[in-house]
């Protein structure tokens, strides 16, 4: 003999709404749908009593609510654990890669310095790394200062080197002769003029390194 169907509060609420929407009596309603009249009558009566008291048609049992909360908490905990595991895995992989690279670099450096790598546990490797990073920051500052110093040195060498003065003096003399020839073609003798003599003395002083002609 088959067991009678168990109706949940939600089933009864749905059937009750269907019953109220038609004009048939309850017995006919149950016969047409194959429902147990006595059971439906009692459940409808309890439902109407709840509605009359202003209560919701469906009751959530405490055990079901607690069970649902337990399931939700379990799912949340599982999700959090998965995220933590994924983050831990990524961090561990980074530590492994970083540690391997640091070890390779340190081992090569320590070998050149004559350190005994068999005593690696006794070496403050983290201090070496921190010191290297600090020096790397200082290197950028020193490199810039070195570049500026080299530029200044080159500038002063260009002013004091006889070879550089000779090259630039020849260029100045060439430009002076070109100008004198141009002015001579116009009938002006620049070489014998005061300007010409001043310019000639200026070139001569520059070539031998005298500075009297450059003073204001």
Q: Give pLDDT tens digits for 60-105.
A: 555 445 555 555 566 666 677 777 877 777 778 877 877 777 777 7
Return the structure tokens found at 6: 């168990």
Asked if residues 186 and 180 have their Cβ atoms less than 8 Å apart, the reply is no
Name which of 14-18, 68-72, 192-196, 207-211 the model is least confident about: 68-72
Residue bearing the bigger pLDDT, 66 or 118 = 118
Q: Over the stretch 178-194, which tens digit does the pLDDT of each residue have?
A: 888 888 788 887 777 88
- Sole residue written with tokens 């141009």: 182
Q: pLDDT at position 70, please? A: 56
Q: pLDDT at position 69, please? A: 54
Q: pLDDT at position 47, please? A: 93
pLDDT class for 216, splitting at 50, 70, 90?
A: very low
CB atoms under 10 Å from CB of 93, counted, come to 10
**Is pLDDT of 28 > 90?**
yes
pLDDT class for 39, splitting at 50, 70, 90?
A: very high
CB atoms under 10 Å from CB of 13, counted, come to 19
Q: pLDDT at position 21, please? A: 92
CA-based max dimension of the chain:
142
Residue bearing the bigger pLDDT, 60 or 197 = 197
Angle between helices 26-33 and 9-20 (to 10 degrees): 120
Angle between helices 162-185 and 194-208 (to 10 degrees): 170
Q: pLDDT at position 43, please? A: 95
Total count of residues recorded for the chain: 216
Asked if residues 11 and 36 have their Cβ atoms less than 8 Å apart, the reply is no
pLDDT class for 45, splitting at 50, 70, 90?
A: very high
- How many angstroms separate the Cα of 70 from the Cα of each of 54, 83, 166? 30, 20, 95
Q: Over the stretch 126-150, which tens digit does the pLDDT of each residue have?
A: 777 777 777 777 887 788 888 888 8
Q: Could you say which DSSP state residue 35 is in?
A: -
- How many angstroms separate the Cα of 148 from the Cα of each of 141, 160, 161? 11, 19, 20
Asked if residues 117 and 111 have their Cβ atoms less than 8 Å apart, the reply is yes
Closest residue by Cα to residue 37 from 9, 70, 7, 2: 7
3-state SS, residue 67: helix
Q: pLDDT at position 169, please? A: 73
């Amino acid at each position: 003999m088959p067991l009678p169907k168990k109706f949940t509060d939600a089933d009864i609420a749905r059937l009750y709404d269907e019953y109220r929407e038609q004009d048939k009596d309850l017995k006919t309603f149950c016969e047409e749908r194959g429902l147990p009249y006595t059971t439906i009558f009692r459940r409808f009566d309890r439902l109407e009593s709840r509605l009359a008291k202003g209560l919701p048609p469906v009751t959530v049992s405490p055990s079901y609510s607690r069970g649902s909360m337990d399931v939700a908490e379990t799912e949340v905990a599982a999700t959090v654990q998965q995220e933590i595991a994924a983050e831990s895995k990524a961090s561990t992989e980074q530590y492994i890669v970083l540690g391997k690279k640091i070890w390779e670099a340190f081992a090569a450096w320590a070998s050149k310095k004559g350190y005994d790598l068999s005593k690696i546990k006794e070496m403050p490797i983290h201090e070496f790394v921190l010191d290297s990073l600090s020096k790397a920051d200082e290197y950028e500052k020193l490199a810039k200062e070195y570049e500026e110093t080299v530029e200044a040195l080159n500038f002063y060498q260009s002013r004091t080197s006889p070879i550089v003065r000779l090259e630039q003096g020849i260029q100045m003399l060439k430009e002076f002769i070109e100008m004198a020839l141009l002015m001579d073609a116009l009938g002006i003798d620049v070489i014998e003029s005061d300007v010409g003599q001043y310019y000639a003395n200026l070139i001569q002083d520059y070539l031998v390194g005298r500075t009297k002609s450059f003073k204001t």
